[in-house]
C-alpha cells in the first residue's frame, strides 16, 4: 500500500494584525516552511482596513506562490485580487460563492464536526472541506472533530480535507496520515516566537 502524502501547511492570520510587524513574521514563516495557503481571518469589518491587510499579505504570498483566501467576504475576492474564499457557514453559501467567483477561484467550507455538511459542501462545489476543532477545547459546545471523521473522509471522499482548531503536536502527529492540510493560526501567533512554534508543529506533520 502506498505511503500517504505528507500533509501541507495552511496558515490562518490573527484576528487583529499589526501591519508594522506581521508581514515580516509571515514572510519568515513562509520562507521556513512550504505553505499552500494563507487565510485572512480578520475580526474587522472595515473594508479599508481589510484591503490594507490584504495588500500587505499579498505582497508576501504572491512571490512565494502561496494562495490567499479570505473568510466569508465573497464580494471582496475579486476586488482585492485574492485567490478565493473560506466559508464558515458549512454548506449554505457554497453554490452562491462558486457562481459568483467562477470555476477557477478557491472555495473552501468549514463544516465543524458534520460529515453530512462536509459531503453536501463538496457536492455543491467546495474545493476543500475543513473540520474542527480538531483538538480538545472548552470553547463553543466542546464538540471535537474526531480522528474517525478524518479517517473515514480520507478513505471515502476525494475532496481534500483540512484539520483546524486547538491543534498541538500530538494531535497533528495522530491526524497526519488522514489529513491533507493542517490550518494553523492562533496556535503560533499567540506564541512569543511564532516561527519556533510553527517549526515545532510542522515537525509533527511527518
| Strand, coil or helix: 8 | strand
Angle between helices 47-61 and 22-32 (to 10 degrees): 30
Give the span between the Cα atoms of 13 and 165, in whole angstroms.
Answer: 13
Strand partners, 163: 131, 182
| Structural domain boundaries enclosing 78 | 8-203
Is 2's pLDDT higher than 70?
A: no
For residue 34, being part of any structural domain is answered with yes
In the predicted structure, residue 142 carries a pLDDT above the cut 90: no
- Give the model's pLDDT for residue 1: 31
Question: What percent of the chain is predicted at pLDDT more than 90?
Answer: 92
Tens-place pLDDT, residues 156-198 = 999 999 999 999 999 999 999 999 999 999 999 999 999 999 9
Residue 82 scores a pLDDT above 60: yes
Decide if 3 is inside a domain: no
Residue 140 maps to a domain: yes
> pLDDT for 83-116, tens place per residue?
999 999 989 999 999 999 999 999 999 999 999 9
Structural domain includes residue 91: yes
Residue 186 is assigned to a structural domain of this protein: yes
Nearest alpha carbon to residue 159 among 181, 133, 184? 181
Query: Does 39 reside within a domain?
Result: yes
Tell me, yes or no, whether 2 lies in a domain: no
Q: Helix, strand, or coil here: 74?
A: helix
Distance CA 31, CA 36 (A): 12
Residue at 1 is within a domain? no
Count of the separate structural domains present in the chain: 1
Q: What percent of the chain has pLDDT over 70?
A: 98
- CB contact set of 191 (below 8 Å; sequence gap of 6+): 197
Work out the average pLDDT over 22-39.
Answer: 98
Position 5 pLDDT exceeds 90: no
Which DSSP string corresponds to 122-179? HHTT-SEEEE---S--SSTT-----HHHHHHHHHH--S-EEEESS--HHHHHHHGGG-
Check pLDDT > 60 for residue 4: no
CATH number, domain at 185?
Answer: 3.20.20.70
Amino acid at each position: 500500500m502506498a505511503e500517504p502524502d505528507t500533509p501541507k501547511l495552511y496558515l490562518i492570520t490573527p484576528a487583529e494584525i499589526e501591519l508594522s510587524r506581521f508581514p515580516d513574521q509571515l514572510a519568515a514563516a513562509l520562507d521556513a516552511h512550504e505553505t499552500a495557503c494563507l487565510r485572512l481571518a480578520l475580526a474587522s469589518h472595515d473594508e479599508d482596513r481589510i484591503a490594507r491587510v490584504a495588500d500587505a499579505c499579498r505582497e508576501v504570498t504572491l512571490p512565494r506562490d502561496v494562495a490567499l483566501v479570505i473568510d466569508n467576504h465573497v464580494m471582496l475576492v475579486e476586488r482585492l485580487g485574492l485567490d478565493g474564499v473560506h466559508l464558515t457557514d458549512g454548506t449554505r453559501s457554497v453554490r452562491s460563492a462558486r457562481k459568483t467567483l467562477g470555476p477557477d477561484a478557491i472555495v473552501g467550507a468549514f463544516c465543524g464536526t458534520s460529515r453530512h455538511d462536509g459531503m453536501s459542501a463538496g457536492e455543491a462545489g467546495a474545493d476543500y472541506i475543513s473540520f474542527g476543532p480538531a483538538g480538545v477545547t472548552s470553547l463553543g459546545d466542546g464538540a471535537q472533530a474526531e480522528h474517525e471523521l478524518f479517517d473515514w473522509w480520507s478513505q471515502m471522499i476525494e475532496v481534500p480535507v483540512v484539520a483546524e482548531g486547538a491543534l498541538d503536536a500530538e494531535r497533528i502527529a495522530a491526524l497526519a496520515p488522514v489529513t491533507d492540510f493542517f490550518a494553523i493560526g492562533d496556535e503560533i501567533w499567540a506564541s512569543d516566537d511564532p516561527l519556533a512554534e510553527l517549526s515545532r508543529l510542522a515537525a509533527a506533520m511527518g
